[in-house]
Structure formats: C-alpha cells, structure tokens
Amino acid sequence: MQPALLPLFPLRVVVFPRISLPLHIFEERYKEMIGEAIQRASEFGIVLAKEDGIVNAGCTVVVEKVLKNYADGRMDILTRGVRRFEILGLNEDKSYLRGEVEFFDDDEPGPGPADLREKALAQYRGLAETGELRSGEPVLSDPQLSFQLAQAVQDLDFLSLLLRNRSEPQRLKQLADYLARLAPKLREASRMRKMAPLNGHSSAPPGISG
C-alpha cells in the first residue's frame, strides 16, 4: 500500500512517466530513502530543485534495477517514471523530505491528433539528423508521445512546464515549436565542431609537426 506521505528526491532533472532515469545514490539520507523504496517496491517522487526551493510538481519513479552496490553503501540504480503529482504540503520529520501529494493525469486521456504527433516527431527526427541529439529512441506507441520526445530537451524550466501541462495536444504543439527553434542552434553547433580542427595555427594534421 502506498504510504500517505511520498518520499521526495529534489534533483536538477525533470522525469516523465515511462522514461528511464539512471541515478547514483551517495548521500546517507537518500541511501535510506532508496533502500526503503527497494525493500517495499514503492514509488518515490523526483522534483525539480531550483535555487529558491523545489517546484511543486514532479513525477514518481520506481527502482527497476540496482546496477551496482558499493562497499560504502553507495549505489547505481535505474529508475522509471510512473505518475505525475502536485505537492500539497511538506513534511520534514525524517532525514529526507516527504510530501502530501495529489496525483494527476491529462484532462482528456489518449493520444494527440495525428497531425500534431507527426509535426512534433518530424522536428525530433530533424534534430537527430544533426548528430547532436543525446537521448533515447522514443517509444512511438506511447499515447503521451510528448513525454518521449521531451528527452531531446535540456531546458529544465520548459520541461517542468510540460510535466504540469494536462493536455497532450498542447504539449505536442509546444514541443514542435520549441524543437523547431532548437534545430538551427544544434546544426550550427555541429558545423562549428566540424570546423574546429581547421581553425588551428597549423595546417598540418594532428600529430605531425612541421
């Protein structure tokens, strides 16, 4: 049975339902929290940590696999996002933060319109062609395709807005527009990286002295 208070893990990351996230656990309080989650096969919440506190919405994850245990109690784990929540109140009775939360999903469940899905997917594939995209292959059968495509984005504030948005069509449109603006920047970054070896002081190939 899910506890009334959800353990919270503030991180500089935004996770979405059904998306994998590897974590390295080293702080004592989070060793305790993760140990309990593994023992109980229960969820804990990941919330975006900012300079002035935590964002009041996040996503629960479950530990799918313990990748490595270290002698000092540290561990590498693989988690997967489960469900989104809003924080109603905080509790600091334990060494780690817990929250009274309310879970939510989209107001109208189901996939977005085909044209919006294709538009967002086309922008995602365009980014992949630049060679600058460092994210997993999206699961196209996911009815909330926006969560899969969001792996291409590193802007945490934008990702936090997506997480809280309860409309798949709106998220797809926001993503398509964002990725369209991002593509030229990544293409330029790719071009500059390829040009870098040509901008040195010598025309000789690396490793060959004149």
Q: What predicted TM-score, i.e. pTM, was given to this entire model?
A: 0.84
Structure tokens at 113: 């319109």
Mean pLDDT for back-to-back runs of 10 residues, the chain (210 residues)? 80 97 96 96 97 95 97 96 97 96 95 95 86 76 96 93 98 95 69 58 37
Task: Look at residue 28 and give its three-state secondary structure.
Answer: helix
- Per-residue model confidence (pLDDT) at position 148: 95
In 4-70 the beta strands, taken as DSSP E runs, fall at 6-11, 20-25, 44-50, 53-69
Distance (Å) of CA 182 to CA 93, 94, 162, 195: 43, 42, 16, 20
Delimit the domains of the chain by residue range.
6-104, 114-196
CA angle 104/106/111 to nearest 5° reads: 145
CATH architecture of 6-104: Roll (2.30)
Looking at residue 40, its amino acid is R
- Residues 6+ positions from 5 with CB-CB distance below 8 Å: 91, 98, 99, 100
